[in-house]
Amino acid sequence: MTSNGPSLLVNCSTAHSRAHFYYFIASSGFQNEGFTLDYDLPDETAYGETCATIGLILWNHRLLQFSGERKYADVIERGLYNGFLSGVSLDGASFFYENPLASAGGHHRQGWFDCPCCPTNIARTLASLGGYFYSTGVNDVWVHLFAQGTAKLRVAGRDMSFRQVTKYPWNGDVRLEIGVASPQTFALHLRVPGWCERWTLRINGTPVTDLKPQANGYLAIEREWRTGDVVEYGMDMPIQTIWAHPAVRYLQGRLALQRGPLVYCLEGVDHGGIVLDRIAMDPEQVLNDFGVERQDHLLGGLSVLRGQASVVDESGWEGTLYRHSKPSSKPMDITALPYYAWENRTPGEMRVWVRAV
């Protein structure tokens, strides 16, 4: 172990992975569970296997231990909160083998599979989550992920504890309480997520304004720490629009919604039976007018995004396939919920990538 990079805290066994980074994880060929052409990444039929996401998480965890670079922790976080967590129902009783980014309503979780790799991989990944949050060096502690909980670490031969108090991922406020047997000097490295453009930091109530992220994407706070020291770390968490590479032909003219580490989707159950592909969002309106609404009664408690979009008006098209005039649109209210939570209510349509106007 050296102070230049985090040390490996857990010994993860490998998962089979035919993985490609496609906002979540996808191999593009559903028929052959493999790859076809460059940028061939269909949202409805890509083979976004749960095990592939787990494989990518494991691989990036190893790369993170070698390099200490934020980009690997970003991939771990995106995979955990989205393509992995969607693989299991909220009651833990059914599973997705594939995780598409759009569904016409025929894709459902199952209780078991003839090849049951995904359920068992989900179980062991959930059981190992505690090993992904922190790493240690000779005189360093890295905080990679954020969630309520307590960790016990050992640095320079001395035991210490870290307690996170937070409602992450629903907001970006993290209170980190430090416990050491006696005053100890070490560097605390806090990850600034790739999606986070603004952040605040306080130590024992005093604002820290002159600290910048290092080249690896982490804030490094080196000082003598004492039991009872408190770090208050606030990450701004606005609604963001995501666009695909111009070469991904299936997703041109479409956008996705993200807030913090969570990717959002539309479900048919929230939109009165309207075909989701006929809905379009104005990206400027999303950034300026969409709001976040906490719903503690919905699916165990989550935050939804609400705003106004437009929907194609089908009136006047009866008995007609083509006409010379452009279809008209009318406004409608839409609700987006975290992708991981889809297909836990009334079965129906789902779409992550929505048409842009």
Report which of 136, 132, 154 is spatially closest to residue 144, judged by C-alpha positions: 132
**How far is the C-alpha of 307 from the C-alpha of 291, rounded, in Å?**
6
pLDDT for 140: 97
The DSSP bridge partners found for residue 218 are: 191
pTM above 0.85, yes or no: yes
- Per residue in 319-348, pLDDT (tens digit) is 899 988 888 999 999 999 999 999 999 999
Distance of CA 251 to the CA centre of its chain: 19
Q: Extract the tokens encoding 107.
A: 């894709």
The DSSP bridge partners found for residue 190 are: 143, 219
- The chain-wide mean pLDDT, for the chain, equals 90
- Per residue in 80-96, pLDDT (tens digit) is 999 999 999 999 999 99
**How far is the C-alpha of 80 from the C-alpha of 82, rounded, in Å?**
6
3-state secondary structure of 167: coil
| Continuous segment of H or E residues that includes residue 306 | strand 302-312
The pLDDT confidence band at residue 12, using thresholds 50, 70 and 90, is very low
3-state secondary structure of 273: coil
pLDDT for 32: 65
- Flag the least confident range among 266-270, 278-282, 318-322: 318-322
The DSSP bridge partners found for residue 134 are: 143
Domain with residues 133-235, CATH architecture: Sandwich (2.60)
With both helix axes pointing from N to C terminus, report the angle between 50-67 and 70-78 in degrees, rounded to the nearest 10. 160
